[in-house]
Structures are given as structure tokens and as C-alpha cells.
Structure 1
Amino acid sequence: MSDNLLGNFTDQAKNVYEPLVKANQLLFKKLEKVAEFQMEAFKSYADMTGSQFKEILEVRDLESLKNYTTHQTEMASNLAKKVVEDMKTLSEMGMEFKGEMEQVLDEAKSAAQNSKSES
């Protein structure tokens, strides 16, 4: 009898903690992925800014100023596109996380229901 009780307790503990472990692993995996993405995005934005500083230092006359302002328009357009792409990527990461977390929760719910029906 005590073996059965201990076995039931172990199974119930497993059913409770296994989904929590999966959820935590998923959370940390996604946080790591988002952090890596943000670091790459930051590097990209820093590179753009650095190149702008270098270009402004090259302005020496009206012609180079004209070239600089023309390039600024292109750069602003590229920056806007990059920001939109980055936001889209982050949104997709969020949706992917949501779907995977829902799957973990559904599995936990099924396990809990199976555990109840076996009792």
C-alpha cells in the first residue's frame, strides 16, 4: 500500500513539475534567441551610425555636402525598412513562443486529465 501511495505521489509530482520544466526551458531558449537578435540589431544600428559619422567628416565642399544629403535620404529609407523588418521578426518570435507555450500547456492539461482519470 505504501509503495502504491509513494508511486502515485511520484507520478503526480512528475505531472506537476514536468510542464513547469518544459515551460522554463522554452522561456530561456526564447529569451536567449531574442537577446542574440537584439545584440545583432544593435550592432547593425551602431554600424549605420558609425558610417554616418565617417561620412559627415568627409564633407569638404558643396558637392560632397550634396552627396552626403542624398545618401542621408537613402540611409533614412534603409533604416526605416530595417526597423520594420526587425519589428516583424520580433513579432514572429513572439508568435512562435506563444504557439510553443500553448503546446506545453496543452500537454500539461492532457497529462493532468489522464492522471485524474487513472485515479
Structure 2
Amino acid sequence: MYTEMFKSFSEQTEKSLAPYVKFNKLFTKNVEELTELQLAAVRAYTDLGLSQLKAVSEVKDVQSFAEFNSQQLETLTKLSQQLIDDSNKFTAVAQSFKTEVEELVAENVKQATPA
């Protein structure tokens, strides 16, 4: 008697907590993707900054200064493109998360609404 009651209670609890478990897994996946993107972005910006420090340390005369300045437009273009790419990646992750949460909510509303 008690075994069946506990089994029933356990099944009902598991069923009622299933949406929370799905959301937590979805949220964790999203945080993981965002963290990976942020680490990649930090790595890229750090590499760019270090390359600029190395380039400026090579300036020794007017000729090398002119070469350094001519490379700055290329560096700014590269930085702008990196910012655009990173922004697009973050937007894609956010949109994917939003879509998946909307699907989860719709599924749960459908299950909760009597037919």
C-alpha cells in the first residue's frame, strides 16, 4: 500500500518537475555556449592587442613609424569585422535560446491545458 503511494507520489513529482529540469538543461547549455564565445572573443582581442604592442615596439625611426601607421587601417578593419562577427554569434545564441524556451513553454501549456 505504502509502496504504491510513494511510487505514485514519486512519478507525479517527477512529472511536475520535468519542465524545470528541461529549462535548467537548456539554460546551462546556453550559458556554456555564451561562455565559450566570450572566451574566444577575449582570446581574439588579446591576440590583436598583443600584436599591436609588438608592432609599436618595432617602431624605431620615421620609416617604421609610417609602416606602423599604414597597418592601423587594416587592424581597425580586422577589429571591426571581429566585433561584427562576435555580435552575430551572440545574437544567434540568444535567438536560439529564445526559440527553445518558447517551444518549451508552448509544450507545457499544451500539456497543462485540458483537451
The TM-score, its normalising length taken from structure 1, stands at 0.85
- Could you tell me which amino acid in structure 2 is paired with residue 51 of structure 1? S
Which residue is equivalent to 1:83?
83
- Could you tell me which amino acid in structure 2 is paired with residue 22 of structure 1? K
* 1: CA distance, partners of 2:112 / 2:13: 11
- Could you tell me which amino acid in structure 2 is paired with residue 61 of structure 1? D
Of all paired residues, the percent bearing the same amino acid is 28
Which residue is equivalent to 2:110?
110
Aligned length: 114
- Could you tell me which amino acid in structure 1 is paired with residue 87 of structure 2? M
1:16 Cα deviation after fit = 2.2
* 1: CA distance, partners of 2:32 / 2:111: 28
Which residue is equivalent to 2:99?
99
Which residue is equivalent to 1:59?
59
Q: Output the aligned Cα RMSD.
A: 2.2
1:14 Cα deviation after fit = 3.2
Structure 2 gaps, min length 5 = none
For residues 63-101 of structure 1, give each alpha carbon's deviation from its aligned partner in whole angstroms, at most 9, with x where no partner exists: 111110111111011101110110111011100000011
Contact 1:34 1:90 in 2 (8 A): yes
Moved over 4 A (4+): 9-12
1:10 Cα deviation after fit = 4.8
* 1: CA distance, partners of 2:102 / 2:72: 44
Contact 1:15 1:112 in 2 (8 A): no
Contact 1:15 1:108 in 2 (8 A): no
For residues 30-73 of structure 1, give each alpha carbon's deviation from its aligned partner in whole angstroms, at most 9, with x where no partner exists: 10110011001100000000000000010111111111011111
